Amino acid sequence: MNEQSDLDLGLSLPIMEHFYTIQGEGRHTGTSAYFIRIGGCDVGCHWCDVKESWNPDLHPVSSAEEIAKMAVKHSKTIVLTGGEPLMWNLSPLTSILKELGCTIHIETSGAYPMSGTIDWICLSPKKNSLPLKEIYEKTHELKMIIYNQHDFIFAEEQAEKVNNEALLYLQPEWSNREKMTPKIIDYVMKNPKWKISLQTHKYLNIP
Ligand SMILES: C[S@@+](CC[C@H](N)C(=O)[O-])C[C@H]1O[C@@H](n2cnc3c(N)ncnc32)[C@H](O)[C@@H]1O
Ligand SMILES: Nc1nc2[nH]cc(C(=O)O)c2c(=O)[nH]1
Ligand code: SF4
Ligand SMILES: [Mg+2]
């Protein structure tokens, strides 16, 4: 089979980078995990901290089996991120990872259909390209990025859509953190259903 059909089937994926680190954000902050960053995203957040991931053609293609075998050498907790990982069919990769005994987390905007077997869904909705309806029911944590004042309104709108069990996080957009972090602290104290999430890996200078 050719490379394009393997990509279409999710038998291979464009991998921007993969690394063993500590989850820096959200509910699993502080937990060691192997990150697989899949290239390709067309959501276009102006403050995205991995714009290099956007063009999938710039990233080498690896087979799902190769990626999975390499990842489990380091950790049984895997974080799939990107780019937008749901642009790809994640069934082959996640089924191999599950056979190898892994717990699989995903970081997603929810703008593309769910695929694969995922144990923990971190949904981070974007105004440019709203999540598809199906993901709100399945979300474990909602992580809203706060860049400006209007983002608090958007966060509340998205919180209305997720299931009642979902944990709710507000995370300062990194370049505007000095301005927005105090506002988030104030907001969380007034609205205790929310928690603050910081990009702790950036403070720790780790990947
Ligand atoms: C780079 S994205 C990749 C996964 C997916 N495309 C998404 O946006 O959820 C990983 C996480 O980083 C967040 N993020 C991206 N740029 C950020 C920034 N400048 N400041 C804070 N969080 C950011 C995203 O909202 C998402 O929760
Ligand atoms: N340490 C660490 N934690 C993270 N949590 C989400 C990340 C991501 O870019 O998806 C990320 C990341 O890039 N590094
Ligand atoms: S959806 Fe995620 S990867 Fe895509 S531009 Fe936005 S933050 Fe970056
Ligand atoms: Mg990141």
Q: Which ligand is nearest to the CA of 45?
A: 3
Which residue owns the Cα nearest ligand 3 atom 3? 83
22 lines ligand 2 (CB under 6 A): yes
| pLDDT at residue 195 in the model | 99
**Annotation: binding site for substrate:** 22-24, 37, 81, 207
| pLDDT at residue 1 in the model | 62
**Phi then psi for 147, rounded to 5 degrees?**
-105, -35
Owner of token pair 């609205």: 191
Q: Going by C-beta distance under 8 Å and a sequence separation of 6 or more, which residues neighbour residue 122?
A: 25, 26, 27, 105, 106, 107, 108, 139, 140, 141, 143
Owner of token pair 């995203």: 41
Contact status, residue 168 vs residue 148, Cβ threshold 8 Å: no
- Is 64 part of a structural domain of the chain? yes
Burial of 113 (0-12, 13-18, 19+ CB in 10 A): exposed
* Local confidence pLDDT in tens for the 207 residues of the chain: 688 999 999 999 999 999 999 999 999 999 999 999 999 999 999 999 999 999 999 999 999 999 999 999 999 999 999 999 999 999 999 999 999 999 999 999 999 999 999 999 999 999 999 999 999 999 999 999 999 999 999 999 999 999 999 999 999 999 999 999 999 999 999 999 999 999 999 999 999
- Is 206 part of a structural domain of the chain? no
Contact status, residue 81 vs residue 40, Cβ threshold 8 Å: no
- Is 111 part of a structural domain of the chain? yes
Please name every residue paired with 136 in a beta bridge, in sequence order, or none if there are none: none
- Pairing between strand 194-196 and 120-123? unpaired
Owner of token pair 């990150």: 35
- Is 171 part of a structural domain of the chain? no
> CATH number, domain at 127?
3.20.20.70
- Is 76 part of a structural domain of the chain? yes
Domain that holds residue 47: 3-139+157-165
The 8-class DSSP code of residue 28 comes to G
* CA distance linking residue 75 with residue 66, whole number of Å: 15
Report the complex ipTM: 0.99
**Annotation: binding site:** 22-24, 37, 41, 45, 47-49, 81, 83, 124-126, 207
- Is 181 part of a structural domain of the chain? no
The tens digit of pLDDT for each residue in 67-119 reads 999 999 999 999 999 999 999 999 999 999 999 999 999 999 999 999 999 99
Q: Give the number of domains in the chain.
A: 1
Ligand 4: centre distance to CA 83 (Å): 10
Please name every residue paired with 108 in a beta bridge, in sequence order, or none if there are none: 123
| Cis, bond preceding 83 (omega within 30 deg of 0) | yes
